[in-house]
Structures are given as C-alpha cells and as structure tokens.
Amino acid sequence: MKTKRIAALTCLVLVAGVLAACDTNSNPNSPAARRVIASGHPEWPPIMFQDGAVIDGAGPALVKMIFEDLGINVAVRHTGTWDEVQAQARTGAVDVLVAAYKTSAREEYMVYSDAYTTDPVALFVGQGKAFAFGSWDVLVGKRGVAMVGDSYGQQFDDFAAASLSLTRVTTAAQAFDLISSGQADYFIYALYSGEAFLKETGAGAQFEILPTFVTEENFYITISKASPFVPYLPQINEAIAKYTADGTIAALIAEYKQ
C-alpha cells in the first residue's frame, strides 16, 4: 500500500513538472523565459553606440539596471543602422530601444517611458565656415547632411521635410567628410556625439560647432507595441524617477562621456 502511495506521489510530481515546463514555454513573461532584446543607435555616444556585437552606453546601462531590478534578463544587441533598428522595433523583433526622441511616427508602434535625459542637437560646420544661426529659416537654401533614420524632434522634422535639403548618410564619418570636402554646409547631429567623434578622430581643429542649438530633445526608453514587455512601463517609469532623484542617471552619462 505504501509503495502504491509513493508511486502515485511520484507521478503527481512528474505531471506537475511537465505542466510547469509547458507553462514556461508558452508564457513569454514567465521568470524562466524573461529576456528583453534591446537595441539602439550605433553612433550616438554617450547614450548609445556600437561596441562590436552590442550597443553600449548610458542608455543600455540604464535599461539593464531597470529590467534586472525586475528580475528580467536583457541583451542589448547591435542590430543594424538606426533605421533598421526602428524597423525591428515595429515588428517586435526588438523589444526595447534604449533611447529615442519622441515623434508621431514612432508613437504608432512604440510606447514611451518618461524622459530620462535631455539631448542638445547642434550644427557642425567646417573651420572658418560658421554662419549666424538664430532660427531654422537660416538653413533654407543651405546644403545640410544628416544620418539615415535620425529624428531631431517632431517640429524640426516637419520643418526639414518641408523646407530643407538634407543628404542622408549612414555614419558620422561620411557626414564630416562631406563638410570637409565642401559638398555640404552643415551637419546636424547630437552635440555630445559629435564632440566624441571629433575627439576620438583628432579632427576637432577642422570643424566648428555653432553656439546656438537646433533643438534640445528628451530621450526616452521605448517598448515595441508588439512586445510582451509593454505592461512593465509603470515599473520602468518608477525606476527612472528613482534613478533621476538619486543621481544614478547623471552619473552614468558622465561616466560614458569620459
């Protein structure tokens, strides 16, 4: 009789294990299956930049911190150019973008966290080629260069589409080459990213940065609407508030600026 009871209990344990395994495999939010696939812009330091097969920077560090606090593993992968990364977020192949400006087009397929930092956008010109810049209208008729897939805020994007001539390139190096060769009058790019590129390449003496910014845009963490991790948005916002208040985000950005 005792043997039969032991056999019955063993069967129950085995069945329970099988059911639990099935539940884990079918539920992407189960603890054993939780893994966020994140990505970002490959050339936007200190917030995000390519480092081999991954995206590094303050944005990835923050995203990892937030999700790992929730017991969720994160892989921050380099998955292509910025426009390719956004296309993957549209389909859900990428769950999270570690940083993005807010535009109406992006809001169609992603949900946005609260902002976690502000990013100034500047104009880079050739040495001795600076011009007075007080309004966007000054750029009309000039030859500009920008990177494929980049936004500079909804208002400026709308203005640029209607009034500016912008050549799109895939890397900052290509953009600065167009400036130095005289094929473009200005490069619109994130201030910190441009400064980092010029410092790294030693080309700072060849270019100037106009003192007036084009715009200053907020950076947000975004989640694809096709991702199972959308329900975590409230916890993400709570973490952003906490890490803003205690100086963690500012410290991360300062660390990656070095």
Q: Which domains does the chain have, with CATH numbers?
A: 10-118+218-257 (3.40.190.10), 120-216 (3.40.190.10)
> What is the pLDDT at residue 167?
97
How many whole angstroms separate alpha carbon 146 and alpha carbon 152? 10
> What is the pLDDT at residue 17?
40
User: Residues with Cβ < 8 Å from 20, sequence gap 6 or more?
Assistant: none
Type of residue at 218:
N
> What is the pLDDT at residue 30?
53
- Of residues 53, 52, 77, 51, the one with CA closest to residue 64: 77
> What is the pLDDT at residue 109?
98
First CA to last CA distance, the chain: 73
Do residues 157 and 105 touch, judged by C-beta distance below 8 A? no
pLDDT of the chain, 258 residues: tens digit per residue: 444 444 443 343 333 443 444 444 445 445 436 699 999 999 999 999 999 999 999 999 999 999 999 999 999 999 999 999 999 999 999 999 999 999 999 999 999 999 999 999 999 999 999 999 999 999 999 999 999 999 998 999 999 999 999 999 999 999 999 999 999 999 999 999 999 999 999 999 999 999 999 999 999 999 999 999 999 999 999 999 999 999 999 999 999 998
- Of residues 130, 138, 131, 129, the one with CA closest to residue 182: 129
How many whole angstroms separate alpha carbon 228 and alpha carbon 92? 9
